[in-house]
Structure 1
Amino acid sequence: MEGLRRLEYRGYDSSGMALLDADANLHRVRAIGKIKQLENKVDALDEPFTGQIGIAHTRWATHGIPSENNAHPHICNNKVAVVHNGIIENYQTLKHKQLAAGYKFTSETDTEVVAHEIFDNLTESDDLLDAVMQSLKSFEGAYALGVMATDNPDTLVAARKGSPLVIGVGIGEHFIASDVSALLPVTQNFIFLEDGDVACLSRDRIEIFSVLTGERVERPIKHSNLNITAVELGKHRHYMHKEIFEQPQAVIDTLEGRITQDQILVSSFGPTAEAIFASVNRIHIIACGTSYHAGMVAKYWTEDIVGIPCQVEVASEFRYRNPVIENHTLFVTISQSGETADTLAALQQINAMRQNKTAGLRSRRASDTQSDHQDNSTLSSTSSDALNLPTLSICNVAESSLTREADLVFLTHAGPEIGVASTKAFTTQLVALALLLTSIGKVQNRLDDGREAMIAGGLQKLPNLITMALGHEDEIRRISEDFADKQHALFLGRGTMYPIALEGALKLKEISYIHAEAYPAGELKHGPLALIDETMPVIAIAPLDDLLEKLKSNLQEVKARGGQMIVFEDERSDISSENSFKVVKATTNVGRITAPITYNILLQLLSYHVALIKGTDVDQPRNLAKSVTVE
């Protein structure tokens, strides 16, 4: 139950638990809503709910509405119990086959076919591990599975493909979980399963096998430095608030050992980074959600600092089109968790391209036929011998899937991020990207020592600038009261502030459920101006840069149409002279790198306090999950 509580931040709509008692009888309790509802049902049982082996789960609905019947664990014939993260894509085919064989279904989920398939294989073999191994050959899609059976009361079997799964190593006890944080109260030693691994656990042993070969494999035990207090609320009301205020320290931790007073240390990206960066002609950034916005900011920086082309793409779009890949492109994948399904699949797709040794390879959907691949698999303008498509992953979680797939890895050291709406992960991703682009420019002699020193100095000032921005909380709290009756909002920015406006709009809609859009301020006349009236709050980001006068003209367009203007401006700007505007003045250090990060802190605070006024669930907004491990 404590493990479930520690996974609440991931987002869920129901929960459940199944235990085998001392006589190997299977018992299950499930509930809709918060884990507290499950606790209440357990407390209300007539008989003690106890056992020495069990599985539990918090479900986020994919197949079937939130209901008790659809909640995990799923059980077949009161013999096999299963919990599952991921999606079984061919479940309909398996379900039709199982219905024909006489199996009864009590849910709308794809997971129930897993329980039936394993039970069916157990009729051929009395060994649970063997039954699971045989069943896995039938499943298409992604899964992290925990399985137990009454005929094997001392065994817990786990399997992983596409969804994260970790083993907690104890003394006379072993555990599985989808996240290290669930097991911190009981162990700090972990084995991170890889795709295709099947683990068989008992109290005194752990054995791991490859589903492809059936042979035993070895995975190292890793010691985690995380502790229980790292994921506690402390004095804060919500995790999001705590994580917003942890950002100065998160930036310090991310910069530690990677920067001096006037230099960026290229070696912080790995021992081979300098050689890789020297050959890069262009950058391609792939990410989702907030991480995608970080990539958009980096596009502006790349053109400014390095002077090479940079493309930024949503991972779910990259996967399902035919990208023309140019040689000597550095692929950068960004993910807080390192388990984002689309981002991970995009990275794997790049690795597959390299294995095919064809620059310019046109990718096809994994479901395409072999003949399709043969017809469309090459578009090469360079020799395969010259292929150079290095990959770099920026991630907050060591030992995640993304970090294992990339050539270079940069860990952001933001610490655990529990709130679904990303805050400190985004800030540290921007810091990581600033270090990356400066490193590439340095290796390629595209920036002089003076500019490198200026960037290094700006990054070192960031923690203090963020602290100063956090000092505007009371001011922003008062402004947020204007949103109590609002249903729509418009964010405006220019240059690097446009992706920051996108991020601000995303945060507002995520946690307050207010419909929010973001536009480049120069696009007002091309449509958004039609939305402006006295009921529409317009949030503008106004740094003191060469675009400020242009932005002022855009704001006058909003004012003339009665829009409610909220402006976040530099302390040296003069927009505050407009009495009809509500203005928050910030110290941003004017720098191209520090300014977008600083202004984003203010927008995070705005979204948080608007959500409080709206009375929404700040840390666990409806319909959203922290780690999107399915498509």
Structure 2
Amino acid sequence: MCGIFGYIGNKNCIPFIISGLEKLEYRGYDSAGMAYIRNDSVLEIKKVVGKVQNLKEILDFSDFSKVGIGHTRWATHGGISVENAHPHTDCKGNIVVVHNGIIENYKELKELLINKGHVFKSQTDTEVIPHLLEEMVDKEEIGLEEAVKELFKKLEGAFALLIMDKRNPNILYALRKQSPLIVGFGIGENFIASDIPALGDYTDRFYYLKDNQMAKISANEIKVYDMGVGKYIGVEPIRIPQDRIRAEKNGYPHFMLKEIFEQPLVVRRILSTVNKNRDELQIEDIKSIDISWEKIKKVFIVACGTSYHAGYYAKFLWEEELPYFIEVELASQMHHRNLRVPDETLFITISQSGETADVISTLRKVKEKGFKVLSLVNNPQSTVARESDYFINLRAGIEIGVAATKTFMAELVYLGLLKEYVKNKLYKVKIDLDKWNMLPTYLENYLSNIKDQVFETAKKYYQKKNFLYLARGRNFPLALEGALKLKEISYIHAEGIPAGEMKHGPIALLDPETPVFGIAYKDDAYSKMINNLEEAKARRAPIIAIGNEKDKKLENLVDDLIPVPNIDPFYYPYMGVMVLQLFAYYVADLLGREIDQPRNLAKSVTVE
């Protein structure tokens, strides 16, 4: 999730790095830093907490350096501090590194290096990298290039790295494993960044490093070493017109695809509103509200469309750990309800626009009866936000695509955080925020790794006329959302069905022309989901499934498995949502649909 930028050439690197970091600010961050080599031998490192503007204020722009690297950091391992900001160096101050990703075995490596005499200055996972390189180069007498290659073997996890050594200021090394890194080809200068908008002002020629590749970059040459084949390979840069990069879509063909890929950034922005005090969890927008959570008997969630699916998901999530009865209703159905709820009921309304007519009508109706309303909206100036007793700003940013993507992710995350907040209030338990802090990085890496497989799967099925989406428990609302996305933008009929209900009628729809899309993680619904998918297979229906990687039972059962990594199941729903969105997008794109403005639909439904 962090932002990386590097420059090597004949001009002063400092303005390039600052400009690049400014163009990466949208990614979200809490500190910034850069390193450059002055007079071909003096390493300068500048780091600040806060914005790139703060970094600019401490720089001496009269310094001249032809090579440098910069970074914007989102804290995961270690708090927000200058010491934890990147870049990081070895003990002798020769090797300097910036890093995006998570080093999963850093604790073991750190202990090993400390035992060998290395002194650490930060609490980050990143700092093990320069010390590891120092150990190999200075003590094991391995050349820096070979030591850099060894990192692929020694580091576990996901990483994009940019490495500089003041003893050789004519070379930068860039490594990629599951975290994006892009090389920009210049004339007498070259660039490296974690996202293409940072490069668009300087070149229109790019190479996207693939997993387990290293780039050796000088002012006049970029060489790419592939660990898989064990040698340098020829690469052909792709051309992307600079005006396309600078456009509002940032090089994406549709706003919807851009917004799918913005979701990790949205999650990071949301997490910045959470007070990370271990004894008390606070969400910025509601830290001063006067809800007596211990007196509430019922929570009533009201929403429409995609937001309804988020609320439905929250019902399962909240009932697992909170003492409330949770009811979820479509706002359009509330007109026809004669409500009989206890006085100690909290209403939660969810609306991306904050102007949905049915939601506004419900809000006013329940407030007239004296109930309190907490709303989740993406527009703090909207009617729903203004008229609610309390509201949470989703902070998803402007969403142009009619089919909601990043706002849905924002709703899921805030509803999950709200559950943690209430649990903390009721039971005074400490909340583990580490897994939340790592969520943006896991999502970014997963998107990068899975998008091609989802596209290939979409190519197999895009001409089908009907789809059934099956799931159980808390995954069922996500199946509903997957079916809705496909309907909205591809105009293909799709239906979300609780898998246990198939034998009560929907199984009659199955045939070789009706694909089934199942959600079958290894969770408490897994064995029953396997049975349901076997029933579909017996009717010769093609089966797509989202499930755990290397699940042999599922691999042998389904036609196409889109895997999630075998990590904490906490992450599965968020990863699965992105798969469902991408599948719908690619199917619609292959059909040539108007993805951002599908027929008959509007972004905000302002009439009942």
Q: Residue 346 of structure 2 aligns to a residue in which SS?
A: strand
Normalised to the residue count of structure 1, the TM-score between the two structures is 0.55
2:534 aligns with 556
1:243 aligns with 2:259: yes
1:620 aligns with 597
1:428-455, Cα deviation, whole Å (9 max, x unpaired): 001111111221222111x732xx21xx
2:405 aligns with 423
1:321 alignment partner AA = R
Query: 2 CA distance for matches of 1:327 and 1:510?
Result: 38
Conserved 8 A contact 2:266-2:410 = yes
Q: Residue 610 of structure 1 aligns to a residue in which SS?
A: helix
Q: Percent identity?
A: 39
Give structure 1 stretches of 5+ with no counterpart: 1-228, 355-388
Which structure has more RCO (C-alpha within 8 Å, separation ≥ 6)? Answer: 1
Conserved 8 A contact 1:262-1:457 = no
2:325 aligns with 309
Q: Residue 519 of structure 2 aligns to a residue in which SS?
A: strand
Structure-to-structure mapping, 1:219-258, within 5 angstroms: 232-258=248-274
2:40 aligns with none
Q: CA deviation at 1:579?
A: 6.2
Alignment counterpart, residue 273 of structure 1, candidates 286, 289, 313: 289
1:383-438, Cα deviation, whole Å (9 max, x unpaired): xxxxxx32101011111111111111111111000100000000000111111122
2:516 alignment partner AA = V
Q: CA deviation at 1:575?
A: 3.6
Conserved 8 A contact 1:565-1:582 = yes
Deviates most, 233-242 or 519-528:
519-528
1:64 aligns with none
2:577 alignment partner AA = N
- CA pair 405-479 structure 1, distance change in 2 beyond 3 A: same
Conserved 8 A contact 1:264-1:435 = no
2:606 aligns with 629
1:531 aligns with 2:531: no
Q: CA deviation at 1:457?
A: 2.7
1:329-352, Cα deviation, whole Å (9 max, x unpaired): 111000111101100111111111
Alignment counterpart, residue 409 of structure 1, candidates 377, 391, 400: 391
Query: 1 CA distance for matches of 2:382 and 2:506?
Result: 41
2:490 aligns with 512
2:406 alignment partner AA = K
Q: CA deviation at 1:231?
A: 9.1
- CA pair 580-597 structure 1, distance change in 2 beyond 3 A: closer
1:35 aligns with none
1:600 aligns with 2:581: no
Q: Residue 544 of structure 2 aligns to a residue in which SS?
A: strand
Query: 2 CA distance for matches of 1:312 and 1:230?
Result: 42
1:344-373, Cα deviation, whole Å (9 max, x unpaired): 11111111111xxxxxxxxxxxxxxxxxxx
Q: Residue 418 of structure 2 aligns to a residue in which SS?
A: helix
Q: Residue 300 of structure 2 aligns to a residue in which SS?
A: strand
Structure-to-structure mapping, 1:149-548, within 5 angstroms: 232-260=248-276, 262=278, 265-273=281-289, 275-354=291-370, 389-445=371-427, 448-449=429-430, 452-453=431-432, 456-470=433-447, 471-548=449-526
Conserved 8 A contact 1:347-1:406 = yes
Query: 2 CA distance for matches of 1:231 and 1:422?
Result: 21
1:23-75, Cα deviation, whole Å (9 max, x unpaired): xxxxxxxxxxxxxxxxxxxxxxxxxxxxxxxxxxxxxxxxxxxxxxxxxxxxx
Q: CA deviation at 1:572?
A: 5.2
Conserved 8 A contact 2:520-2:526 = yes
Query: 2 CA distance for matches of 1:580 and 1:400?
Result: 45
- CA pair 327-572 structure 1, distance change in 2 beyond 3 A: farther
Conserved 8 A contact 2:514-2:542 = yes
Q: CA deviation at 1:486?
A: 0.9
Q: Residue 274 of structure 2 aligns to a residue in which SS?
A: coil
Query: 2 CA distance for matches of 1:288 and 1:260?
Result: 32
2:259 alignment partner AA = E
- CA pair 271-484 structure 1, distance change in 2 beyond 3 A: closer
- CA pair 517-275 structure 1, distance change in 2 beyond 3 A: closer
Query: 2 CA distance for matches of 1:264 and 1:297?
Result: 25
Query: 1 CA distance for matches of 2:334 and 2:475?
Result: 25
Conserved 8 A contact 1:264-1:438 = no
Query: 1 CA distance for matches of 2:280 and 2:334?
Result: 31
1:59-97, Cα deviation, whole Å (9 max, x unpaired): xxxxxxxxxxxxxxxxxxxxxxxxxxxxxxxxxxxxxxx
- CA pair 595-484 structure 1, distance change in 2 beyond 3 A: closer
Q: CA deviation at 1:601?
A: 0.6
Q: Residue 530 of structure 1 aligns to a residue in which SS?
A: helix
Q: Residue 496 of structure 1 aligns to a residue in which SS?
A: helix
Q: Residue 529 of structure 1 aligns to a residue in which SS?
A: helix
- Count of residue pairs brought into register by the alignment: 363
- CA pair 264-599 structure 1, distance change in 2 beyond 3 A: farther
1:277 alignment partner AA = W
Structure-to-structure mapping, 1:12-27, within 5 angstroms: none
2:606 alignment partner AA = T
Could you list the structure 1 runs, at least 4 aligned residues long, displaced by more than 6 angstroms after superposition.
none
Conserved 8 A contact 1:491-1:501 = yes
Q: Residue 602 of structure 2 aligns to a residue in which SS?
A: coil
Query: 2 CA distance for matches of 1:230 and 1:493?
Result: 41
1:562 alignment partner AA = R
Query: 1 CA distance for matches of 2:361 and 2:549?
Result: 44
Conserved 8 A contact 2:564-2:572 = no
1:241 alignment partner AA = L
2:282 alignment partner AA = V
- CA pair 462-305 structure 1, distance change in 2 beyond 3 A: same
1:422 alignment partner AA = A
- CA pair 532-331 structure 1, distance change in 2 beyond 3 A: same
Query: 2 CA distance for matches of 1:516 and 1:552?
Result: 21
2:562 alignment partner AA = V
1:322 alignment partner AA = N
1:260-293, Cα deviation, whole Å (9 max, x unpaired): 2756633524244354333322210000000000
Conserved 8 A contact 2:530-2:554 = no
Conserved 8 A contact 2:380-2:386 = no
Normalised to the residue count of structure 2, the TM-score between the two structures is 0.58
1:600 alignment partner AA = V
Query: 1 CA distance for matches of 2:331 and 2:506?
Result: 27
Query: 2 CA distance for matches of 1:331 and 1:294?
Result: 15
- CA pair 486-257 structure 1, distance change in 2 beyond 3 A: same
Q: Residue 534 of structure 1 aligns to a residue in which SS?
A: coil
1:163 aligns with none
